[in-house]
Amino acid sequence: MKNPEYDAVVIGSGPNGLSAAITLQQAGLTVLILEAKQTIGGGLRSEELTLPGFIHDVCSAIHPLAAGSPFFNSLPLEQFGLEFIYPEIAAAHPFDGGTEAVLKGSVEETASKLGIDTESYLELLAPLVRNWTDLAPDILAPLHYPKYPLAMVSFGLNALKSASFLAKRFKSKEAKGLWAGMAAHSMQSLSNSTSAAAGLVLLATGHAKGWPVPKGGSKNIAQALASYFISIGGKIETGAHVKSMSDIPSSRTLLFDLTPKQILEIAGEHFSSIYKWQLKRYRYGMGVFKIDWALDGPIPFTASGCLRAGTVHLGNTFEEIAGGEQMTSKGKHPEKPFVLMAQQSIVDPSRAPQGKHTAWGYCHVPNGSEKDMTAAIEKQVERFAPGFRDLILAKHTMNTKEIEVYNPNYIGGDINGGVIDMGQLFTRPALRTSPYRTSAKGIYICSSSTPPGGGVHGMCGYRAAKQSLKDVFNIDIAL
């Protein structure tokens, strides 16, 4: 048998594919990344989607998990052009009538604005924020014995609960609403067990690390990772569409930054019947309908904090948000959907011509939905920012089908790589001693379909590469 062309090949150049490749290259291997698109990045791409000079993030836009990622923080990415900008207010949640709740860096300052719920908020978040740096590597990992077991047990007891259950800790609409907006990032019914986990992690990272915007667009996270990878000897080929194993150069190990559906199409014949059965049963979650706007000015929110927030959650009360997410999980389209908005240009003027602005927003929809939610989303924005529609110069929309065409990893518009409910929290994407191993020797999965799941943090890629290094090369590494 002739020598393989590479030690390792990684299919896909999203944040996890790049992180896996970097980890392998750092260990002294020869590594190749194959990317089907002409540009790298996966969910980390930015383009002029509306008008010349207006830079829009095609998928991910705000990056608390990137700022809090143990792997990203181990790399000198600022030396390769990455600059994070931190809005004065990380996230804001307006209510009818002009009031709001806001997420700021200080957990005490955030709590102090929640009135009757000040102590309840501090009791829930302060320990997690205080221990975030120590806990992050264990939280952003598969099921294992943690380094700090007592602190992890405390986190886990809350994270495994439903967001609806934890909401009972609060009495005010402000605290309940702020919590609902955070937990709704889980993209599942807020009555589901584990739906609290996303809310806890996002609030903790907001307090500990902030919710930053990458200067110039999310593409610059991918560019910095790629530039670092190339600087240490890695190789990237774009326009390399892999349809079967015969399209992949020979290597000692192979890592897929893809979800189970695509991996089965490419490498299914190499897997055991039980493993294939498990991958075929893998479940994808809600999709998203997304809009990018080119605006003639800043969004005129009634609540003043929203004017300074990088992210704005539009959904009013906990009950309204929970009801809408429940409808979506049952295949329906709410009349008043929960809308996640980002207004990057208020802190990054490079995103739009002078005096103009960009905005980015989406709502959750049933997986595979092709319904146009433009009117419903814009009605929600106008509800909290009267006059918003008058500022729209141009817009670009994407339904779930179009989102999947943009990135085949987003099956049915699911940007999380599969639903993260109790049934797939610990068996993601299959029940294995290591979630990154497939049943085929030397083949691994490093995408968001493995723990810890969706988000721009690179930890799925790092963990999968770490497993591959140990199994195939007898190399044990740690951050």
Cα-to-chain-centroid distance, residue 67: 12
196-214 burial, b at 16+ Cβ within 10 Å, e below that, comes to bbbbbbbbbbbbbbbbbbb
Q: How confident is the model at residue 1 (pLDDT cuts 50, 70, 90)?
A: very low
Render pLDDT for 215-242 as a digit per residue (tens, 0 to 9).
999 999 999 999 999 999 999 999 999 9
Q: What is the largest CA-CA distance in the chain?
A: 72
Render pLDDT for 129-177 as a digit per residue (tens, 0 to 9).
999 999 999 999 998 999 999 999 999 999 999 999 999 999 999 999 9
Per-residue model confidence (pLDDT) at position 476:
96
DSSP string, 411-467: GGG-TTSS--SHHHHSSSSS--SSTTB-SSTTEEE-STTSTT-SSS--HHHHHHHHH
Tell me the average pLDDT of the chain: 97
Kindly tell me if the per-residue pLDDT of 206 is higher than 90. yes
Task: Name beta bridge partners: 10.
Answer: 33, 255
CB 353 within 8 A of CB 54: yes
CB 161 within 8 A of CB 174: no
Q: In one letter, which amino acid is 53?
A: G
Render pLDDT for 42-92 as a digit per residue (tens, 0 to 9).
999 999 999 999 999 999 999 999 999 999 999 999 999 999 999 999 999
Residue 431: Cβ within 10 Å count: 11
Distance between CA atoms of residues 468 and 232, nearest Å: 19
What is the mean pLDDT of the segment spanning 391-418?
97
Per-residue model confidence (pLDDT) at position 427:
87
Q: How confident is the model at residue 479 (pLDDT cuts 50, 70, 90)?
A: confident
Distance between CA atoms of residues 404 and 380, nearest Å: 25
- The domain at 6-82+214-282+417-473 falls in which architecture? 3-Layer(bba) Sandwich (3.50)
CATH code given to domain 85-212+286-406: 3.90.660
Render pLDDT for 453-466 as a digit per residue (tens, 0 to 9).
999 999 999 999 99
Report the share of the chain in percent with pLDDT over 90. 98
Domain borders along the chain are 6-82+214-282+417-473, 85-212+286-406
Render pLDDT for 256-300 as a digit per residue (tens, 0 to 9).
999 999 999 999 999 999 999 999 999 999 999 999 999 999 999
Report the share of the chain in percent with pLDDT over 70. 100
pLDDT greater at residue 1 or residue 292: 292
Distance between CA atoms of residues 157 and 153, nearest Å: 6
SS3 110: helix
Render pLDDT for 367-399 as a digit per residue (tens, 0 to 9).
999 999 999 999 999 999 999 999 999 999 999
Establish whether the linkage from the previous residue to 452 is cis, with ω within 30° of 0.
Answer: yes
Q: Who's near 75: CB < 8 A, 6+ residues apart?
A: 22, 225, 228
The pTM of the full predicted model, rounded to 2 decimals, is 0.96
Distance between CA atoms of residues 447 and 11, nearest Å: 10
